[in-house]
Amino acid sequence: MKKRSFTILLTALLTFSVMLAGCSGGNNSNKATGDPAPTQTAKAEDKTPAAEEPTAITIMLPLNTSETPPDTIKKEIEKLTNTKLTYQFFPADSYEEKLNTAFATGSLPQVTYLKNQSTFVQMKEAIKDGQFWEIGPYLSEYPNLNKLKPEILNNTKVEGKPYSLYIGRPLARQGMIYRKDWADKLGLKAPANVDELFAMAKAFTEQDPDGNGQKDTTGIADRNELVYGAFKTVSSWFGTPNTWGTKDGQLQPEFTFPQYIDTMDFFKELRSGGYMNQDFAATSKTDAVNMFTSGKAGMYIGGSMQDIDSLNKDLIKNFPDAVLDTHSMVAGPDGKFAQWMIPGYNNLVLFPKSAVKDEAELKKILAFFDKMMTPELANMMFWGIEGTHYTVVEGKAKVGDNKELIEREVKPFKDSVIGESETNGMYESYNTLPGRIHAEELLKENVKVGVPDPTAALDSATYTEKGVELQQLITDATYKYMYGQIDKAAFEKAVEDWKSRGGSKIIEEYNAAAAK
C-alpha cells in the first residue's frame, strides 16, 4: 500500500513539474538565468536550416572605361546570387602587364579574366602544367553552363580539354565607322573597294570636310594594335588569310602572303600622304577614339561597328549636327569581299588552382556563373537595371538617355557576361540610331564572306612557348615597314628570323595537328 501511494505521489509531482515548465515557457522567466525554454516552438526552430553563408569570390578583369564603377550593379548581383563579390578592375591598356605580374607572383584571384585570344595563348603552357582547373567534367552539372556552344568551347580547349568559360561575340563585327556628313558634303559614297577607301581618307584630309577653312583633319584615326585596330580589317579586305592560310598545300602564317605586303604598302602610302595619324604605332585606343570624337578624323576602322553608339554619343557633344554610319563591304583588288572572323569569343575566364583551393570551392564558383547565365542576371550585367539603365521595347533592350550613368555603372561589367544571347537569354539591342541599325545588318553580311582562322582549334607546343615573343618580331617589322624605316627585303629578313627562331617548328606542328 505504501509503495502504491509513493508511486501516485511521484507521478503527481512529475506532472506538476511538467506543468510548471510549460508555464515558464510562456513567459520571460528563462531570460533571467539565460537557460532556453524547452518548448515545442524552440524544437521546431532547431530543425530549420541556417541561411547559407554568401560565397566569397574575387574577380579580376580589364576595365574599358576611365574609372571603376560604383557598387550599384554589384550589390544587386550579390543579393540575387548569395555571394560576396570583390572586383579587381585594371585598365585595359595595361591589363596584360598586370595579368603577367599577378601570374608570376602567384596572386591571381579565383576568377581571372584574360584580355583576348593572345593572352590565352600566353597562358596555355601554364594550363598544360596543371596550374588552372579543368572545368569540362563539371559543365554537365550546371544546366545553363551546359548550353555554351560546343563549337566555341572547342576553340578554347587545351590538349582537347576545356579550362575556361567564354564571353561570346558575333563572329565578324569588324568594319568602319565614318563621318557620313563629311562624305555627303564631299559627294562621296561608302567605299566599294580599297581604292575608294584610300580616296575617302585623302579627301577627308585635303578637302576641308568640316568647313572651317583650315587643314586640320585627317582620314583615319588608328591605334597601336595590328589585330583590333585598322590593319587586320583592311588586310582581310585585301584578301590576306586570317592569321594562317593555305599556300602550296600547307598552312602558312599570314605575313608570308603577298596580300600582307600589299596591306603594309597601303598604310605606308596613307601615312606618308598624311591621310592618317602619323604616330598610330604609339597611339592608344583611348587617344584614337578621342581623335575621332573631337572631329579630327573621319574614319575609325577595326574593332566593332557596334561601337558607333558610344562614338556617336561623344561626337555629337562636340558637333551636334554630325552624322555617323557604318560600312564593311569593301572589295579587294581582285573584286572579292572577305572579312576575318574571331573564334566566337573575345575573352575567356580561367580558375587558378593557386586561388581556388579545392573542388568544392570550384563548384561554388561555377554555380555562381551558372546563375549568371540566367536571363535576369545576364541582362543586369549587360544592360543594367531595368527602368534605370534601360527599358524593354518590343522585346528588346532600349538603352536609357543618361549615357554617362550607363557608362559609369554598367559598361565595366558588360564585357564579363558569359555566353551570348542565344545561350544566356539576354535581350538583344533595340536600336534607333540609323548607323547602328546598319551595323547589325552588316554583321550578318560579314559572316557570309567570313574567313576563319584554321589554327583556332589546333595546338602547337612551340607557338605556346614562343609564339608571343616571335610575333613581336613581325609586329615590329610591320610597323617599321609602314613607317618607311625598312624595305621589303628587310621585312622578309624578319620573316626568316621568325622561322629560324622557332617559326619553322610552329609551321610543322600546326600542319601535323591539322593532318590528324
Alpha-carbon distance of 361 to 365, in angstroms, equals 6
Q: Is 72 helix (H, G, I), strand (E, B) or coil?
A: helix
The three cell numbers of residue 255 are 605575313
Residue 365 φ then ψ, to 5°: -70, -45
Alpha-carbon distance of 430 to 40, in angstroms, equals 57
DSSP string across 327-352:
E---B-TTS---EE--SSEEEEEE-B
Q: What is the pLDDT of residue 386?
A: 97
Alpha-carbon distance of 340 to 235, in angstroms, equals 9
- pLDDT tens-digit series, residues 177-217: 999 999 999 999 999 999 999 999 999 999 999 999 999 99
**Residue type at 218 in one-letter notation:** T
Q: Are 444 and 437 in contact (CB under 8 A)?
A: no
* CB count in 10 Å sphere of residue 144: 21
Q: What is the pLDDT of residue 50?
A: 59
Alpha-carbon distance of 294 to 30, in angstroms, equals 75
Alpha-carbon distance of 515 to 108, in angstroms, equals 37
Q: Which domains does the chain have, with CATH numbers?
A: 55-171+345-426 (3.40.190.10), 174-340+451-457 (3.40.190.10)
Q: What is the pLDDT of residue 516?
A: 85
Q: What is the pLDDT of residue 122?
A: 85
Q: What is the pLDDT of residue 369?
A: 98
Q: What is the pLDDT of residue 4?
A: 36
Alpha-carbon distance of 375 to 258, in angstroms, equals 47
Sign of the Cα pseudo-torsion (339, 478, 455, 351, in order): negative
Alpha-carbon distance of 237 to 225, in angstroms, equals 17
Q: Supply the pTM of this predicted model.
A: 0.77
DSSP H/E element including 207? none
Which residue(s) pair with 299 in the sheet?
Answer: 178, 220
Which residue(s) pair with 59 in the sheet?
Answer: 87, 111
Q: Quick one: the chain helix, strand, coil %, rounded to 5? A: 50, 15, 35
Q: Is 314 helix (H, G, I), strand (E, B) or coil?
A: helix
Q: Are 326 and 305 in contact (CB under 8 A)?
A: yes
Burial of 488 (C-beta count, 10 Å sphere; 0-12/13-18/19+): exposed
Q: What is the pLDDT of residue 29?
A: 34
Place of cell 544571347: 421
**Residue type at 439 in one-letter notation:** A
> Which of 399, 409, 401, 404 has the alpha carbon at shortest distance from 429?
399
pLDDT < 70: residue spans in the chain: 1-50
